[in-house]
Amino acid sequence: MTETSSASLRQTAREWSGAIGQMVAVFLVVMAAKAALAEPFYVPSGSMEPTLMIGDALLATKFPYGYSAASVPLNVALPATSRVLGALPERGDVVVFRWPGDRSQVWVKRVVGLPGDRIQMRNGQLLINGVPAPLRADGTGRAENEDGSDLPAERYIETLPGGHAHPVYKLRPHSFFDNTAEVTVPEDHVFVMGDNRDNSADSRVPVSEGGVGLLPTDNLVGRVEAVLGSYDLGVARRRADAASWLSGLRLGRFLTSVN
- List the chain domain ranges: 1-36, 38-257
**In whole angstroms, what is the distance from residue 138 CA to residue 143 CA?**
15
DSSP tag of 85 = S
Strand partners, 111: 192
Task: Respond yes or no: is residue 34 known to be catalytic.
Answer: no
CB neighbour list of residue 164: distance below 8 Å, 6 or more residues apart: 90, 91, 92
Which of 141-150, 240-249, 250-259 is the least confident region?
A: 240-249
Residue 198 near residue 169 (C-beta atoms within 8 A): yes
Residue 172's alpha-carbon distances to 9, 54, 152, 154, 175, in angstroms, are: 72, 20, 9, 8, 6
Residue 91 near residue 160 (C-beta atoms within 8 A): yes
User: Which of 45, 47, 200, 203 is an active site residue?
Assistant: 47
DSSP tag of 240 = -
Flag whether pLDDT at 31 surpasses 80.
no
CATH topology of domain 38-257: Umud Fragment, subunit A (2.10.109)
What pTM does this model have? 0.83
Stronger pLDDT, 112 or 147, i.e. the higher one: 112
**In whole angstroms, what is the distance from residue 125 CA to residue 233 CA?**
31
Residue 91 near residue 162 (C-beta atoms within 8 A): yes
**In whole angstroms, what is the distance from residue 237 CA to residue 134 CA?**
38
Task: Respond yes or no: is residue 170 known to be catalytic.
Answer: no
Phi and psi dihedrals of 210, rounded to 5? Answer: 95, 5
- Comparing CA positions, the residue from 89, 48, 44, 88 lying closest to residue 193 is 48
User: Which of 45, 62, 71, 109 is an active site residue?
Assistant: 109
Look over the chain and give the mean of its residue pLDDT values, rounded to a whole number: 85
The rounded percent of the chain whose pLDDT value lies above 90 is 66
Residue 95 near residue 165 (C-beta atoms within 8 A): no
- Residue 217 has a pLDDT of 96
Beta strand 165-170 with 56-61 is: unpaired
**In whole angstroms, what is the distance from residue 194 CA to residue 60 CA?**
17
- Residue 16 has a pLDDT of 53
Strand partners, 61: 38, 223
How confident is the model over 226-246, as a mean pLDDT? 77
